[in-house]
A and B are shown apart, each in its own frame.
Chain A
Amino acid sequence: MSLLHVERVGGLAGFGGPGAHVRSRGQLDPDDLSAEERHAVEVLFKTRGRAKGAQTPDAFHYRISRTTAAGTETVEVPESAVPTALVRCVKDELV
Protein backbone atom coordinates (compact mmCIF):
# COMPACT_ATOMS: atom_id res chain seq x y z
CA MET A 1 0.00 0.00 0.00
CA SER A 2 1.23 3.54 -0.71
CA LEU A 3 2.65 5.82 1.94
CA LEU A 4 0.39 7.99 4.01
CA HIS A 5 1.35 11.65 3.72
CA VAL A 6 0.41 13.62 6.80
CA GLU A 7 0.36 17.38 7.37
CA ARG A 8 -0.63 19.02 10.63
CA VAL A 9 -2.31 22.39 10.03
CA GLY A 10 -3.88 25.21 12.04
CA GLY A 11 -3.29 25.60 15.75
CA LEU A 12 -2.74 28.92 17.49
CA ALA A 13 0.23 29.58 15.18
CA GLY A 14 -1.67 28.81 11.97
CA PHE A 15 0.62 25.98 10.84
CA GLY A 16 0.62 25.46 7.08
CA GLY A 17 -1.47 28.56 6.39
CA PRO A 18 -0.86 30.84 3.40
CA GLY A 19 2.52 32.48 3.88
CA ALA A 20 3.09 30.81 7.25
CA HIS A 21 6.73 30.06 8.08
CA VAL A 22 5.88 27.07 10.20
CA ARG A 23 4.83 23.68 8.84
CA SER A 24 4.49 20.20 10.20
CA ARG A 25 4.73 17.20 7.88
CA GLY A 26 5.54 13.54 7.85
CA GLN A 27 4.83 10.26 6.14
CA LEU A 28 4.53 6.67 7.13
CA ASP A 29 4.01 3.22 5.72
CA PRO A 30 0.57 1.82 6.59
CA ASP A 31 2.24 -1.55 7.04
CA ASP A 32 3.98 -0.12 10.08
CA LEU A 33 0.65 0.59 11.77
CA SER A 34 -1.14 -1.76 14.12
CA ALA A 35 -4.30 -3.41 12.85
CA GLU A 36 -6.35 -1.09 15.07
CA GLU A 37 -4.61 2.01 13.70
CA ARG A 38 -4.97 0.81 10.10
CA HIS A 39 -8.68 0.33 10.73
CA ALA A 40 -8.96 3.82 12.23
CA VAL A 41 -7.28 5.27 9.13
CA GLU A 42 -9.68 3.35 6.89
CA VAL A 43 -12.62 4.80 8.84
CA LEU A 44 -11.24 8.32 8.34
CA PHE A 45 -11.10 7.82 4.57
CA LYS A 46 -14.40 5.93 4.49
CA THR A 47 -16.21 8.79 6.19
CA ARG A 48 -14.39 11.28 3.95
CA GLY A 49 -13.18 13.12 7.03
CA ARG A 50 -16.65 14.34 7.86
CA ALA A 51 -15.48 15.12 11.37
CA LYS A 52 -13.84 18.13 9.69
CA GLY A 53 -16.74 20.19 10.99
CA ALA A 54 -15.28 20.06 14.49
CA GLN A 55 -14.97 23.58 15.81
CA THR A 56 -12.31 23.50 18.47
CA PRO A 57 -10.57 26.87 18.48
CA ASP A 58 -6.83 26.60 17.87
CA ALA A 59 -6.87 22.81 17.69
CA PHE A 60 -4.70 21.18 15.05
CA HIS A 61 -6.18 19.46 12.03
CA TYR A 62 -4.47 16.78 9.97
CA ARG A 63 -4.49 16.46 6.20
CA ILE A 64 -3.91 12.83 5.35
CA SER A 65 -3.33 11.75 1.75
CA ARG A 66 -2.85 8.38 0.10
CA THR A 67 -2.65 7.16 -3.47
CA THR A 68 -4.57 4.05 -4.46
CA ALA A 69 -5.64 2.56 -7.78
CA ALA A 70 -8.54 5.01 -7.66
CA GLY A 71 -6.19 7.97 -7.46
CA THR A 72 -5.01 10.26 -4.67
CA GLU A 73 -7.46 10.99 -1.91
CA THR A 74 -7.10 13.45 0.96
CA VAL A 75 -9.07 13.86 4.15
CA GLU A 76 -8.80 16.59 6.76
CA VAL A 77 -9.70 15.64 10.31
CA PRO A 78 -9.29 17.06 13.82
CA GLU A 79 -6.30 15.90 15.84
CA SER A 80 -8.56 14.15 18.30
CA ALA A 81 -9.67 11.73 15.56
CA VAL A 82 -6.14 10.88 14.35
CA PRO A 83 -4.37 7.68 15.46
CA THR A 84 -1.36 8.37 17.66
CA ALA A 85 1.14 6.95 15.17
CA LEU A 86 0.10 9.55 12.59
CA VAL A 87 0.25 12.34 15.16
CA ARG A 88 3.79 11.27 16.02
CA CYS A 89 5.03 11.02 12.44
CA VAL A 90 4.92 14.76 11.75
CA LYS A 91 7.81 17.09 12.46
CA ASP A 92 7.41 20.81 13.06
CA GLU A 93 9.80 22.98 11.07
CA LEU A 94 10.45 26.56 10.09
CA VAL A 95 10.16 27.21 6.35
Chain B
Amino acid sequence: MKNAPGFACGRVSSGSRRDRLAPRARPPRCDCRCFIIPTDVLERMAKDKKLTPEERKPFVDTMKVEKEWRKARVALSKLSHLVRTVLPAAPAAAAPAAPAVTVFDCAHGTTLPGSPVPNPGTAPDAVAKRAFTETQAVADFYQTCFGRNSVDDAGMTLMSSIHYSINYNNAFWNGTQMTYGDGDGNIFIDFTKGNDVIAHELTHGVTQYSARLSYTNQAGGLNESVSDVFGSMFRQWQADQDVTGADWLIGSDIMGPGATARGFTCLRDLSNPAAKHCLAPQPTKFSQYRDGLDPHFSSGIPNFAFYKAAMAIGGKSWEKAGKIWYQALTGFPPSPNMRMSAFAKRTRSLAASMFPTEPAVRTAVDKAWTAVGL
Protein backbone atom coordinates (compact mmCIF):
# COMPACT_ATOMS: atom_id res chain seq x y z
CA MET B 1 0.00 0.00 0.00
CA LYS B 2 1.37 3.38 -0.94
CA ASN B 3 0.51 5.32 2.21
CA ALA B 4 1.40 4.16 5.69
CA PRO B 5 -1.99 3.61 7.27
CA GLY B 6 -3.04 5.09 10.57
CA PHE B 7 0.03 7.19 11.17
CA ALA B 8 -0.65 9.88 13.72
CA CYS B 9 2.14 12.27 12.86
CA GLY B 10 2.44 13.99 16.20
CA ARG B 11 4.89 16.77 16.68
CA VAL B 12 5.89 18.27 19.98
CA SER B 13 6.68 21.95 19.92
CA SER B 14 10.14 22.96 21.01
CA GLY B 15 9.22 26.49 21.95
CA SER B 16 6.40 28.85 22.70
CA ARG B 17 7.20 32.09 20.91
CA ARG B 18 4.84 32.78 18.05
CA ASP B 19 6.00 32.58 14.52
CA ARG B 20 9.34 31.23 15.61
CA LEU B 21 10.35 28.78 12.93
CA ALA B 22 13.30 29.94 10.91
CA PRO B 23 13.17 29.20 7.19
CA ARG B 24 15.57 26.28 7.48
CA ALA B 25 14.22 24.90 10.74
CA ARG B 26 12.12 22.36 8.93
CA PRO B 27 10.69 19.62 11.15
CA PRO B 28 11.09 15.97 10.26
CA ARG B 29 9.12 15.15 7.13
CA CYS B 30 6.05 13.03 7.35
CA ASP B 31 5.76 11.22 4.04
CA CYS B 32 2.31 9.91 4.71
CA ARG B 33 -0.95 11.73 4.33
CA CYS B 34 -1.70 11.79 8.03
CA PHE B 35 -4.81 10.46 9.64
CA ILE B 36 -5.85 8.66 12.77
CA ILE B 37 -7.21 5.14 12.91
CA PRO B 38 -8.54 3.84 16.20
CA THR B 39 -6.24 1.34 17.88
CA ASP B 40 -8.72 -1.51 17.63
CA VAL B 41 -8.90 -1.11 13.86
CA LEU B 42 -5.11 -0.97 13.59
CA GLU B 43 -4.88 -4.11 15.69
CA ARG B 44 -7.34 -5.96 13.47
CA MET B 45 -5.46 -4.96 10.33
CA ALA B 46 -2.12 -5.91 11.90
CA LYS B 47 -3.43 -9.41 12.60
CA ASP B 48 -5.51 -9.85 9.44
CA LYS B 49 -4.49 -13.17 7.91
CA LYS B 50 -5.94 -12.13 4.54
CA LEU B 51 -3.10 -9.65 4.23
CA THR B 52 0.44 -10.56 3.30
CA PRO B 53 3.18 -9.94 5.91
CA GLU B 54 4.28 -6.93 3.82
CA GLU B 55 0.76 -5.51 3.84
CA ARG B 56 0.43 -6.07 7.60
CA LYS B 57 3.78 -4.49 8.46
CA PRO B 58 2.73 -0.81 8.20
CA PHE B 59 -0.17 -1.49 10.57
CA VAL B 60 2.14 -3.23 13.06
CA ASP B 61 4.66 -0.37 12.87
CA THR B 62 1.93 2.23 13.23
CA MET B 63 0.55 0.53 16.34
CA LYS B 64 3.94 0.84 18.03
CA VAL B 65 4.27 4.54 17.22
CA GLU B 66 0.65 5.30 18.07
CA LYS B 67 0.97 3.61 21.49
CA GLU B 68 3.98 5.74 22.45
CA TRP B 69 2.44 8.92 21.06
CA ARG B 70 -0.78 8.42 23.02
CA LYS B 71 1.29 7.94 26.21
CA ALA B 72 3.22 11.16 25.50
CA ARG B 73 0.00 13.14 25.00
CA VAL B 74 -1.51 11.86 28.25
CA ALA B 75 1.73 12.63 30.14
CA LEU B 76 1.87 16.17 28.76
CA SER B 77 -1.71 16.84 29.72
CA LYS B 78 -1.21 15.42 33.26
CA LEU B 79 1.93 17.51 33.73
CA SER B 80 0.13 20.65 32.68
CA HIS B 81 -2.70 20.05 35.16
CA LEU B 82 -0.22 19.17 37.91
CA VAL B 83 1.69 22.42 37.43
CA ARG B 84 -1.50 24.41 37.65
CA THR B 85 -2.63 22.54 40.79
CA VAL B 86 0.66 22.50 42.69
CA LEU B 87 1.88 25.94 41.71
CA PRO B 88 -1.26 28.03 41.60
CA ALA B 89 0.47 31.30 42.50
CA ALA B 90 3.39 31.31 40.10
CA PRO B 91 1.57 30.73 36.81
CA ALA B 92 -1.26 32.99 37.95
CA ALA B 93 1.17 35.88 38.28
CA ALA B 94 1.65 35.95 34.55
CA ALA B 95 -0.90 35.07 31.92
CA PRO B 96 0.09 31.91 30.07
CA ALA B 97 2.07 32.58 26.93
CA ALA B 98 -0.07 32.40 23.82
CA PRO B 99 0.49 29.16 21.94
CA ALA B 100 2.96 29.23 19.09
CA VAL B 101 1.33 29.40 15.68
CA THR B 102 3.08 27.93 12.66
CA VAL B 103 2.10 27.80 9.00
CA PHE B 104 3.32 25.38 6.35
CA ASP B 105 2.87 25.47 2.59
CA CYS B 106 1.93 22.24 0.81
CA ALA B 107 2.50 23.99 -2.55
CA HIS B 108 -0.48 22.02 -3.97
CA GLY B 109 0.95 18.68 -2.90
CA THR B 110 -0.56 16.32 -0.35
CA THR B 111 2.45 15.64 1.86
CA LEU B 112 1.91 17.10 5.30
CA PRO B 113 2.91 19.42 6.74
CA GLY B 114 4.74 20.92 3.71
CA SER B 115 7.43 23.59 3.91
CA PRO B 116 7.48 26.06 6.80
CA VAL B 117 6.42 29.61 5.92
CA PRO B 118 8.92 31.98 7.55
CA ASN B 119 7.36 34.80 9.56
CA PRO B 120 3.82 33.98 8.41
CA GLY B 121 2.38 37.03 10.16
CA THR B 122 4.05 39.24 7.57
CA ALA B 123 4.16 36.77 4.69
CA PRO B 124 3.58 38.09 1.16
CA ASP B 125 1.18 35.17 0.63
CA ALA B 126 -2.18 36.44 1.92
CA VAL B 127 -3.33 32.88 2.59
CA ALA B 128 -0.39 32.21 4.92
CA LYS B 129 -0.87 35.53 6.65
CA ARG B 130 -4.59 34.89 7.11
CA ALA B 131 -4.10 31.35 8.42
CA PHE B 132 -1.61 32.73 10.94
CA THR B 133 -3.63 35.76 12.03
CA GLU B 134 -6.96 33.99 12.35
CA THR B 135 -5.44 31.01 14.18
CA GLN B 136 -3.91 33.45 16.68
CA ALA B 137 -7.29 35.11 17.01
CA VAL B 138 -9.02 31.80 17.71
CA ALA B 139 -6.40 31.02 20.38
CA ASP B 140 -7.08 34.47 21.85
CA PHE B 141 -10.84 33.79 21.77
CA TYR B 142 -10.45 30.54 23.71
CA GLN B 143 -8.07 32.16 26.21
CA THR B 144 -10.12 35.32 26.72
CA CYS B 145 -13.60 33.81 26.84
CA PHE B 146 -12.95 30.41 28.37
CA GLY B 147 -9.46 30.57 29.93
CA ARG B 148 -8.24 27.79 27.64
CA ASN B 149 -4.58 27.72 26.61
CA SER B 150 -4.62 26.27 23.08
CA VAL B 151 -6.57 23.22 21.97
CA ASP B 152 -5.06 20.94 24.62
CA ASP B 153 -5.18 23.59 27.37
CA ALA B 154 -1.45 23.04 27.71
CA GLY B 155 -0.14 25.52 25.14
CA MET B 156 0.11 23.14 22.19
CA THR B 157 1.55 24.71 19.04
CA LEU B 158 -1.18 25.42 16.51
CA MET B 159 -0.02 24.25 13.15
CA SER B 160 -1.68 24.88 9.80
CA SER B 161 -0.91 23.69 6.30
CA ILE B 162 -2.19 25.74 3.38
CA HIS B 163 -2.45 25.25 -0.40
CA TYR B 164 -3.21 21.55 0.16
CA SER B 165 -3.67 19.58 -3.04
CA ILE B 166 -5.15 21.11 -6.23
CA ASN B 167 -8.57 22.80 -6.35
CA TYR B 168 -9.22 21.10 -3.02
CA ASN B 169 -12.70 21.81 -1.68
CA ASN B 170 -12.06 21.05 1.96
CA ALA B 171 -10.39 21.86 5.27
CA PHE B 172 -9.78 19.33 8.03
CA TRP B 173 -8.19 18.66 11.41
CA ASN B 174 -6.11 15.47 11.28
CA GLY B 175 -5.59 14.99 14.99
CA THR B 176 -2.46 17.14 15.02
CA GLN B 177 -2.96 20.12 12.74
CA MET B 178 -5.30 22.08 10.47
CA THR B 179 -5.15 21.69 6.69
CA TYR B 180 -6.74 24.05 4.17
CA GLY B 181 -7.47 23.69 0.48
CA ASP B 182 -7.66 26.61 -1.95
CA GLY B 183 -11.09 25.60 -3.26
CA ASP B 184 -11.84 25.09 -6.94
CA GLY B 185 -12.79 28.75 -7.46
CA ASN B 186 -16.30 27.77 -8.48
CA ILE B 187 -18.12 25.98 -5.66
CA PHE B 188 -15.66 27.16 -3.03
CA ILE B 189 -12.86 29.65 -2.69
CA ASP B 190 -9.86 29.56 -0.33
CA PHE B 191 -10.96 27.88 2.90
CA THR B 192 -8.85 30.18 5.11
CA LYS B 193 -11.22 33.00 4.14
CA GLY B 194 -13.79 31.68 6.60
CA ASN B 195 -12.95 32.73 10.16
CA ASP B 196 -15.69 30.36 11.29
CA VAL B 197 -14.02 27.58 9.27
CA ILE B 198 -10.72 28.14 11.09
CA ALA B 199 -12.44 28.15 14.48
CA HIS B 200 -14.44 25.07 13.45
CA GLU B 201 -11.28 23.10 12.69
CA LEU B 202 -9.47 24.21 15.85
CA THR B 203 -12.50 23.27 17.92
CA HIS B 204 -12.12 19.69 16.66
CA GLY B 205 -8.78 19.87 18.47
CA VAL B 206 -10.45 21.13 21.64
CA THR B 207 -12.95 18.25 21.46
CA GLN B 208 -10.13 15.77 20.90
CA TYR B 209 -8.44 16.92 24.11
CA SER B 210 -11.61 17.17 26.22
CA ALA B 211 -14.80 15.17 25.66
CA ARG B 212 -13.07 13.06 22.98
CA LEU B 213 -16.36 12.63 21.17
CA SER B 214 -16.19 9.97 18.50
CA TYR B 215 -17.05 10.80 14.90
CA THR B 216 -19.99 8.50 14.33
CA ASN B 217 -23.65 8.41 15.30
CA GLN B 218 -24.88 10.80 18.01
CA ALA B 219 -21.42 11.61 19.38
CA GLY B 220 -20.31 12.41 15.83
CA GLY B 221 -23.21 14.82 15.40
CA LEU B 222 -22.31 16.48 18.70
CA ASN B 223 -18.65 16.64 17.67
CA GLU B 224 -19.54 18.45 14.44
CA SER B 225 -22.06 20.64 16.23
CA VAL B 226 -19.66 22.00 18.83
CA SER B 227 -17.26 22.88 16.01
CA ASP B 228 -20.03 24.80 14.24
CA VAL B 229 -21.22 26.39 17.49
CA PHE B 230 -17.77 27.65 18.50
CA GLY B 231 -17.03 28.55 14.87
CA SER B 232 -20.07 30.81 14.75
CA MET B 233 -19.40 32.11 18.26
CA PHE B 234 -15.85 33.07 17.30
CA ARG B 235 -17.18 34.92 14.25
CA GLN B 236 -19.59 36.84 16.49
CA TRP B 237 -16.87 37.54 19.07
CA GLN B 238 -14.54 38.95 16.41
CA ALA B 239 -17.29 41.23 15.13
CA ASP B 240 -18.45 42.03 18.69
CA GLN B 241 -21.98 41.08 17.69
CA ASP B 242 -24.86 40.21 19.97
CA VAL B 243 -27.11 37.31 19.07
CA THR B 244 -29.50 39.44 17.04
CA GLY B 245 -26.72 40.92 14.90
CA ALA B 246 -25.10 37.58 14.12
CA ASP B 247 -25.65 35.81 10.78
CA TRP B 248 -25.37 32.34 12.38
CA LEU B 249 -24.03 30.99 9.07
CA ILE B 250 -21.18 28.53 8.62
CA GLY B 251 -18.99 28.89 5.55
CA SER B 252 -20.56 32.01 4.08
CA ASP B 253 -17.12 33.49 3.29
CA ILE B 254 -15.88 30.47 1.34
CA MET B 255 -18.77 30.11 -1.09
CA GLY B 256 -17.61 30.38 -4.69
CA PRO B 257 -19.36 32.17 -7.55
CA GLY B 258 -20.96 28.98 -8.90
CA ALA B 259 -22.57 28.25 -5.55
CA THR B 260 -23.76 31.79 -4.91
CA ALA B 261 -25.21 31.96 -8.45
CA ARG B 262 -27.37 29.00 -7.48
CA GLY B 263 -28.56 30.81 -4.34
CA PHE B 264 -26.41 28.95 -1.83
CA THR B 265 -25.07 31.42 0.72
CA CYS B 266 -23.50 29.05 3.26
CA LEU B 267 -22.73 25.47 4.13
CA ARG B 268 -25.03 25.48 7.15
CA ASP B 269 -27.25 27.91 9.04
CA LEU B 270 -27.59 27.45 12.79
CA SER B 271 -30.68 29.66 12.85
CA ASN B 272 -32.43 27.66 10.11
CA PRO B 273 -30.63 24.37 9.50
CA ALA B 274 -33.07 23.15 6.83
CA ALA B 275 -33.02 26.38 4.79
CA LYS B 276 -32.80 26.32 0.99
CA HIS B 277 -29.82 28.66 1.02
CA CYS B 278 -27.73 25.98 2.75
CA LEU B 279 -25.47 23.90 0.52
CA ALA B 280 -26.04 21.02 2.91
CA PRO B 281 -29.42 21.41 4.66
CA GLN B 282 -29.82 19.65 7.99
CA PRO B 283 -32.53 18.20 10.23
CA THR B 284 -34.00 20.31 13.00
CA LYS B 285 -35.67 17.62 15.12
CA PHE B 286 -34.24 14.62 16.91
CA SER B 287 -37.03 12.50 15.41
CA GLN B 288 -35.18 12.85 12.07
CA TYR B 289 -32.02 11.34 13.51
CA ARG B 290 -30.87 7.81 12.74
CA ASP B 291 -27.53 6.05 13.27
CA GLY B 292 -25.06 6.11 10.42
CA LEU B 293 -25.79 9.65 9.27
CA ASP B 294 -22.94 11.93 8.26
CA PRO B 295 -22.13 13.98 11.40
CA HIS B 296 -22.29 17.13 9.24
CA PHE B 297 -25.98 16.31 8.75
CA SER B 298 -27.04 15.22 12.23
CA SER B 299 -25.23 18.20 13.80
CA GLY B 300 -28.18 20.34 12.68
CA ILE B 301 -30.18 19.17 15.71
CA PRO B 302 -27.81 20.38 18.48
CA ASN B 303 -26.84 23.39 16.31
CA PHE B 304 -30.45 24.52 16.32
CA ALA B 305 -30.70 23.96 20.08
CA PHE B 306 -27.68 26.18 20.71
CA TYR B 307 -29.09 28.90 18.47
CA LYS B 308 -32.43 28.81 20.26
CA ALA B 309 -30.81 28.88 23.71
CA ALA B 310 -28.49 31.77 22.80
CA MET B 311 -31.32 33.78 21.26
CA ALA B 312 -33.58 33.27 24.28
CA ILE B 313 -30.79 34.26 26.68
CA GLY B 314 -29.86 37.27 24.56
CA GLY B 315 -26.70 39.41 24.63
CA LYS B 316 -23.37 37.98 23.48
CA SER B 317 -23.50 34.27 22.74
CA TRP B 318 -20.10 33.54 24.31
CA GLU B 319 -21.01 35.08 27.67
CA LYS B 320 -23.68 32.63 28.84
CA ALA B 321 -24.80 30.00 26.32
CA GLY B 322 -21.20 29.64 25.11
CA LYS B 323 -19.86 29.20 28.64
CA ILE B 324 -22.44 26.48 29.35
CA TRP B 325 -21.60 24.62 26.12
CA TYR B 326 -17.87 25.00 26.79
CA GLN B 327 -18.21 23.56 30.28
CA ALA B 328 -20.35 20.70 28.97
CA LEU B 329 -17.63 19.90 26.44
CA THR B 330 -14.55 20.28 28.61
CA GLY B 331 -15.56 20.01 32.26
CA PHE B 332 -16.20 16.26 32.49
CA PRO B 333 -14.29 13.05 31.91
CA PRO B 334 -14.13 12.01 28.25
CA SER B 335 -17.33 10.52 26.89
CA PRO B 336 -16.61 9.29 23.36
CA ASN B 337 -20.03 7.75 22.78
CA MET B 338 -22.11 10.51 24.32
CA ARG B 339 -25.71 10.70 23.19
CA MET B 340 -27.39 13.97 22.35
CA SER B 341 -29.85 13.60 25.24
CA ALA B 342 -26.93 13.27 27.68
CA PHE B 343 -25.32 16.45 26.32
CA ALA B 344 -28.69 18.23 26.59
CA LYS B 345 -29.09 17.04 30.18
CA ARG B 346 -25.60 18.25 31.01
CA THR B 347 -26.21 21.74 29.62
CA ARG B 348 -29.56 21.97 31.43
CA SER B 349 -27.84 21.13 34.70
CA LEU B 350 -24.93 23.51 34.03
CA ALA B 351 -27.28 26.35 33.14
CA ALA B 352 -28.74 26.08 36.63
CA SER B 353 -25.43 25.63 38.48
CA MET B 354 -23.43 28.24 36.55
CA PHE B 355 -26.15 30.90 36.60
CA PRO B 356 -27.99 30.20 39.87
CA THR B 357 -29.39 33.72 40.15
CA GLU B 358 -30.69 33.73 36.58
CA PRO B 359 -33.43 31.11 36.22
CA ALA B 360 -34.19 32.48 32.76
CA VAL B 361 -30.93 30.95 31.53
CA ARG B 362 -31.96 27.49 32.71
CA THR B 363 -35.39 27.98 31.14
CA ALA B 364 -33.86 29.11 27.83
CA VAL B 365 -31.61 26.07 27.62
CA ASP B 366 -34.38 23.71 28.66
CA LYS B 367 -36.83 25.08 26.07
CA ALA B 368 -34.20 25.06 23.32
CA TRP B 369 -33.57 21.33 23.70
CA THR B 370 -37.25 20.59 24.11
CA ALA B 371 -37.91 22.42 20.83
CA VAL B 372 -35.62 20.05 18.93
CA GLY B 373 -37.15 17.02 20.62
CA LEU B 374 -34.56 16.39 23.32
Contacts and interface: CB of A to CB of B under 8 A. Distances in A.
Contacts of A37: 2
A12 B281 CA distance: 13
A40 B5 CA distance: 12
Given A14-B280, A59-B174, A51 B36 contact: no
A47 interface: yes
Interface of B is mostly: loop
B296 A94 contact: no
A3 interface: no
B354 interface: no
A55 B207 CA distance: 12
Chain A residues touching B, range? 35 or more
Given A14-B296, A80-B3, A56 B169 contact: no
A43 to B, nearest CB: 6
Interface string A1-32: 00000000111111111111110100000000
Interface string B122-143: 0000000000000000000000
Interface in B42-69: 44-45, 48, 50-51, 55
Contact of B35 (A11, A20, A54): A54
B327 interface: no
A12 B201 CA distance: 9
B328 interface: no
A85 B251 CA distance: 29
A59 to B, nearest CB: 5
Contacts of B170: 11-13, 58-60
Contacts of B293: 17-18
A13 B187 CA distance: 11
B321 interface: no
Chain B residues touching A, range? 35 or more
A53 B2 contact: no
Contacts of A59: 35, 170, 172, 174
A12 B172 contact: yes
B358 interface: no
Given A22-B280, A53-B41, A79-B33, A12 B1 contact: no
B363 interface: no
A21 B268 CA distance: 12
B197 A12 contact: yes
Interface string A46-67: 1100110111111110000000
Interface of B: 1-3, 5-6, 32-38, 40-41, 44-45, 48, 50-51, 55, 167, 169-175, 184, 187-188, 191, 197, 200-201, 204, 207, 214-216, 223-224, 227, 251, 258-259, 262, 264, 267, 279-282, 293-294, 296-297
28 contacts: A11-B170, A11-B172, A14-B280, A17-B293, A19-B280, A21-B264, A21-B280, A22-B280, A24-B169, A40-B2, A50-B41, A53-B38, A54-B36, A55-B214, A57-B173, A57-B223, A57-B227, A58-B170, A58-B171, A59-B35, A59-B172, A78-B37, A80-B5, A80-B35, A81-B1, A92-B169, A92-B187, A94-B187
